[in-house]
Amino acid sequence: MKVSNDNLTLSEKRIIEIKAIVPIIMAFIDKFGRDKTLNILRENIAKVTEEGGRTTAADMGDNSLDAFAKLLEEFKKENSVEFEIEEQSENKLKLNVTKCKFAEIIKELNIDVDLGYELLCARDFAMIKGFNPNIKLTRDKTIMRGDKICNFCYELIK
């Protein structure tokens, strides 16, 4: 018998993951220290997420910036995030996330924001690297860390 979670939204999947993994991570922090644990977590999430980016691009049959923008619209449709596009061209996509369900989840579960950032926000960089290594992401604001927006700028580097 196959158990499937295909009917769950991304935010619902992340809630399940977070509730399962945070107690384990906290035990590792207690045993091995915060910095060491977060470094290991960061490296492993990046590996898994980068592979997920490659798989997503392959499944879509397109790793262009336009294809990635369409993927982001799916997150918007399921209410994981709300965002406004500031600029969109063949080589650049700038957007501001104004509401983030993931940051809300971390706050509701009373999880440290730095841990929340590593679990959820940091993966954005690995995702785009896997999706298309020629697209660079810059971001210096996140709702997770207390800013009013998350400012994303994706640029195709030729």
pLDDT value at residue 5 = 57
* C-alpha 135: how far from chain center: 16
The sign of the dihedral angle between the CA atoms of 101, 97, 75, 54 is negative
CATH topology of domain 10-156: Muramoyl-pentapeptide Carboxypeptidase; domain 2 (3.30.1380)
Residues 38, 118: contact at Cβ < 8 Å? Answer: yes
Rounded-to-10 torsion of CA 154, 44, 3, 107: -70
pLDDT at 39: 94
In angstroms, rounded to a whole number, what is the distance separating the alpha carbons of residues 4 and 8? 9
Report domain extents, the chain. Answer: 10-156
Lookup result for tokens 């993927």: 71
How does pLDDT run along the chain (158 residues), one tens digit per residue? 344 556 888 778 888 999 999 999 999 999 999 999 999 999 999 999 999 999 999 999 999 999 999 999 888 888 889 999 999 999 999 999 999 999 999 999 999 999 999 999 999 999 999 999 999 999 999 999 999 999 999 999 97
